[in-house]
Amino acid sequence: MFNFEEGEVILIDKPLDWTSFDVVNFIRSLVNRCYGIRKLKVGHAGTLDPLATGLLILCSGKMTKQIDAYQAQVKTYTGSILLGQTTPTFDLESEPNAFFPTNGITAEQIEAARQKFIGDIKQYPPKYSAIKIKGKRAFDYARSDEEIELKARDIHIDDFRLSLDRFPELDFEVTCSKGTYIRSLANDFGKELGNGACLKSLRRTRIGDFRVEDAWPLEKLKQHIIDTGDAFKEWKNEQMEKEQKQN
């Protein structure tokens, strides 16, 4: 049984098409309904885009103070990069805006490009991102066709593995620092090849020592909260009665 008010760290396998805030609001509302907790602090440690799945750390109560520490930890992602096209959002959330032939790309060129993205590098965030510039989200500027200046950020990529088995789609696994945009990595990789690329799929598998294999599927977590809600209410009533008797 969870003690959401005291503080919980819950690992969730975020489903496709949900935003990270969708998950936070869903859990907060569910806990309110099932546990009777009206004002519950809930936050997540690291945003996943709607088209990404995988590990999302949710913190409640006093454990929300640990969010920054979890966000700072090294993360591992798997997914696929599609060569031969670019999109404004650097993934498949938007329609392609350019196409490139891929039949001239060699395994040697891909390996040489891969090596360029290991270690300390500078990376520009996507213009369709939630980064704030002068109090406004970058994607708000992009949607209104306003020009903005995005500053490069220092990131570190520990490991970047690629498989050419499904070329021109490249399956990957990347381990990287906080602040790394895998969408930007895909786009920049295409540029390094003198071609184009966008992110086709993405799944976060690890944050620090936390792994997606240990995470709750959202539907199972929902059912667990529903099943344990009444037990929590009974326990809380017992604690209140004990306190009243002591007073």
Condensed to tens digits (0 to 9), the pLDDT of residues 19-78 reads: 999 999 999 999 998 888 888 999 999 999 999 999 999 999 999 999 999 999 999 999
pTM as predicted: 0.89
Instruction: Give me 214's structure tokens.
Output: 């240990």
Strand 42-44 relative to strand 52-61, pairing: antiparallel
Task: Please measure the distance between the N-terminal and C-terminal CA atoms of the chain and give it in whole angstroms.
Answer: 28
> Going by DSSP bridges, is the β-strand pair 119-123/153-166 parallel, antiparallel, or unpaired?
antiparallel
Buried b (16+ CB within 10 A) or exposed e, 45-61: bbebbebbbbbbbbbbb
Which residues form the catalytic set?
49
How far is CA 190 from its chain centroid?
22
Q: Three-state SS for 14?
A: strand
Residue 34 CB neighbours (<10 A): 18
In tens, the pLDDT along 194-245 reads: 999 999 999 999 999 999 999 999 999 999 999 888 766 665 666 666 666 6
- Domains along the sequence of the chain with CATH: 7-71+209-246 (3.30.70), 75-204 (3.30.2350.10)
Helix-helix angle 218-246:20-35, to 10 degrees: 40
Element (H, E) at 174: strand 169-176
